Amino acid sequence: MKKKPTCSDVFKYICENLDKDIKSPYCLIIKKHLDDCPDCMTYLDGLKKIINLYRSYPDPVLSHNRKIALLKTLNLR
């Protein structure tokens, strides 16, 4: 079993596992930390709100040149 997580561990774990179905033993430890830590719960709630807000907007329409520039800026191309 891993050590008891710090708030920093929880933030990192949440960000790294946003898109996964998390049911590991360590996930249960993280959930326990969230139950006991209002700061981490506030962080998670804020993150959920941002994701839901992002999902509520339509995909942006970019010109080909703007899309290429964006991908280059993000180092994805």
- Residue 27's pLDDT is 79
Digit-coded pLDDT (tens) for 34-60: 889 999 999 888 988 998 898 898 888
The pLDDT score that the predictor gives to residue 1 is 44
Establish if 2 belongs to a structural domain: no
51 falls within a domain = yes
In a domain, 17, yes or no: yes
Residue 59 lies in a domain: yes
Residue range of the domain that includes 59: 7-73
pLDDT in tens, 12-30: 877 777 666 567 777 788 8
Q: DSSP letter for 2, please.
A: P
The number of folded domains in the chain is: 1
Contact 32, 2 (CB under 8 A): no
Any domain includes 47:
yes
Q: What pLDDT score does 3 carry?
A: 74
This prediction has a pTM of 0.59
Residue 77's pLDDT is 66
Domain for residue 37, yes or no?
A: yes
